[in-house]
Amino acid sequence: MPGVCIVSGCSRGIGRAIAVRLAKEGYALGLLSRNEKAIGQLKEELETQGGKCISVPCDIRDEKSIIHAVQTVASQLGSPKGLVNVAGINIDGISMRCKKETMEALFATNTIGTMTMTRAVLPYMMKQRGGSIVSIGSIVGSGGRAGQSAYAATKAALVGYSRSIAKEMGRYQIRSNVVIPGFIDTDMTERSIKNKEEVIKRIALGRMGRVEDVAEAVAFLLSDKASYITGTTLSVDGGIEI
């Protein structure tokens, strides 16, 4: 498909790996994150490898910031044909102790932020009559996890939203899917699990996932190889749910 693709939350971890993978595919990338320094460094790294990209500071909790970022990408690189919604946060807490402020913070970033970003990009895709959106969910959203009820709710909501977008935008040849990572070896995962060995025992493939595993799934769903796939989820979890 390669054309212009926006990747939110790509300063580190899964988002960064996705940006690196898509650059190899030939996408012109709009790198978005609150961490201006990190995406600036990523931009320089990708450019030294022949990639075409720009880095734009963006806070997906702020609609004006999103609109500015998307407009900047469109004006400097061209209309986006791809969008990867990665930006998200995780705040642990059992449901009885989860404060309203925590719930609001999680939904503002993980759900409303993703919805607002998608809404900002859709007009460009509609005008081109084509595009692909991939959002990053979580196995916590599909299976639940003690101590992460609010986070689970935000990720579950993404699936319903993505499927609705697929129904609404199909007539414009715009596809929308969700990649659902399992336990991936990132800083966020490291902070959220107490016993890595016990987690690995539950995984059929016997290892933690790599960020590159998720990046490959995203690259596939964005590509024309997945041109008849929309409104679905793709689990990248090593078989932990079987």
Residues recognised as catalytic: 151
What does the block give as tokens for 234? Answer: 């793709």
Going by C-alpha positions, the residue among 177, 84, 78, 170 that lies closest to residue 130 is 170
> In whole angstroms, how large is the CA radius of gyration of the chain?
17
- Rounded distance, CA 92 to CA 151, Å? 8
- Rounded distance, CA 43 to CA 25, Å? 15
Give the residue carrying structure tokens 């400097």.
76
- The residue ranges of DSSP E strands in 9-87, in sequence order, are 28-33, 52-57, 80-85
- Rounded distance, CA 122 to CA 133, Å? 9
Cα dihedral sign for 142, 179, 241, 163? positive
Whole-number Cα distances in Å, 238 to 38, 148, 172, 184: 29, 21, 34, 10
